Chain A
Amino acid sequence: AQKVTQAQTEISVVEKEDVTLDCVYETRDTTYYLFWYKQPPSGELVFLIRRNSFDEQNEISGRYSWNFQKSTSSFNFTITASQVVDSAVYFCALSTGANSKLTFGKGITLSVRP
């Protein structure tokens, strides 16, 4: 069975602060994919990143960065210099190599105050 844990439920920061969203996953498969999605109030899921289990390189995309650590089964997401537009619910998700079914974490509500 696979599981995604996002222990943080709500985070509130002031604009320009850095914030890290935690994600811990469980799977017995050696081949798997990890994802982060953003869900703004409109409801539409916005794809942020996909990472496969064989690529542990950290990634940076503008103000976003991701830290993948297989040793701790974590795939954390950091927003640098947060902005009000970053306010949304962020989901971490996992799919295994066997099929494409996504298992989502419970999501983290991020509020960025001006």
Chain B
Amino acid sequence: GAVVSQHPSRVICKSGTSVKIECRSLDFQATTMFWYRQFPKQSLMLMATSNEGSKATYEQGVEKDKFLINHASLTLSTLTVTSAHPEDSSFYICSAERTGGINEQFFGPGTRLTVL
């Protein structure tokens, strides 16, 4: 149990376009999901905390208008990178916390975004 999927696993897009990444908890409900970004050979940096039915909470320095997060159901959160630029190329990883769970996140397999 506790499987989290991400779609797509890999995406290449042109500069200026928008890309949507989906994060799904497949066998559990997740009130809270997290979005991380990882540049090559670097650590994971938390971008935002996504709560079902409410606005996401963004970490300092993360542009909320550029990285739109929607958590419309207990099993799905989406991250949209708007007007993507080459510097947005990165590995994006989501995690989900089981509703009622405490400090236990289950990670998705990640999405590799390349902006040309």
Interface residues of A (CB under 8 A from B): 33, 37, 42-45, 47, 50, 52, 91, 95, 97, 99-107
Contacts and interface: CB of A to CB of B under 8 A. Distances in A.
A100 B105 contact: yes
Interface residues of B, number: 21
Contacts, number: 49
Given A45-B93, A100-B32, A106 B42 contact: yes
Given A102-B105, A107-B43, 8 more contacts: A37-B107, A43-B93, A43-B110, A45-B110, A100-B34, A101-B46, A103-B46, A106-B43
Interface of B: 32, 34, 42-46, 49, 91, 93, 95, 97, 102-107, 109-110, 112
Contacts of B97: 100
A84 to B, nearest CB: 21
A45 B107 contact: yes
Nearest to A107: B43
Contacts of A91: 43-44
A25 to B, nearest CB: 14
B43 A105 contact: yes
